[in-house]
Amino acid sequence: MSNDDHEPISPARDDAGTIAEQLARDLYDEVRQNNHATGGLPDLDGAGTVRTVLDDLSVAAYSLDQTIEQLNDFVLHEEAAGRLTHGHDEPTVRNLHECGQALAIARHHSSGLHAALSEAQSAINAVPTGACGADVKSAAETAAEDFPVPLGEVSSAFPSPDRPPPHSATASRPARLEA
């Protein structure tokens, strides 16, 4: 995979390390902040929010595969160039092999994480978007708030052929003016 979406970042180093090191630290901080934000209300306010978070996490997991592959490619390139092993001593060669195997497993897990998050996101698409938590009201409760008068009282205010209108209904009507 290649980094087609972004311009290459120079491997500049400052007191905080390379840009790759800074971005990895920032990624940790962003995930930690997201852990706090997904603790419940008010930040998680409905299925739509969960859907969006799952979608973004799925994309991030998919992108991890590229990062892991590029790290492995770099290690392999540096090893082939002889910059990681001096005289091909056995412990270093074994450690590099173990690193490569662990990175292959990590790529497999990132693909699995992407697939699982995508599946969860697809499943939550069937859940209606709306508020979550203790303040969620049923349709009947919401209708009662919008129309707080019992239906029996309302229907008795309208005349029907077999019953005369209530006294208050006739008393409150203005007299019709004749022309």
- Could you list the pLDDT tens digit for every one of the 179 residues in the chain? 444 454 444 555 556 689 999 999 999 999 999 998 998 878 888 888 899 999 999 999 999 999 999 999 999 999 888 888 666 667 788 899 999 999 999 999 999 999 999 999 999 988 877 545 444 444 555 555 655 655 556 555 555 555 555 544 444 444 555 55
DSSP code per residue over 49-95: HHHHHHHHHHHHHHHHHHHHHHHHHHHHHHHHTTSS-SS--HHHHHH
Q: What is the rounded CA–CA span in Å between residue 89 and residue 82?
A: 11
- Is residue 101 located within the same domain as residue 151? no
In a domain, 56, yes or no: yes
Q: What was the pLDDT predicted at 63?
A: 94
- Is residue 79 located within the same domain as residue 105? yes
The number of folded domains in the chain is 2
- Is residue 120 located within the same domain as residue 151? no
Q: What is the rounded CA–CA span in Å between residue 103 and residue 14?
A: 27
pTM above threshold 0.75: no
- Is residue 117 located within the same domain as residue 145? no
Domain encompassing residue 156: 139-171
Q: What was the pLDDT predicted at 6?
A: 47
- Is residue 42 located within the same domain as residue 102? yes
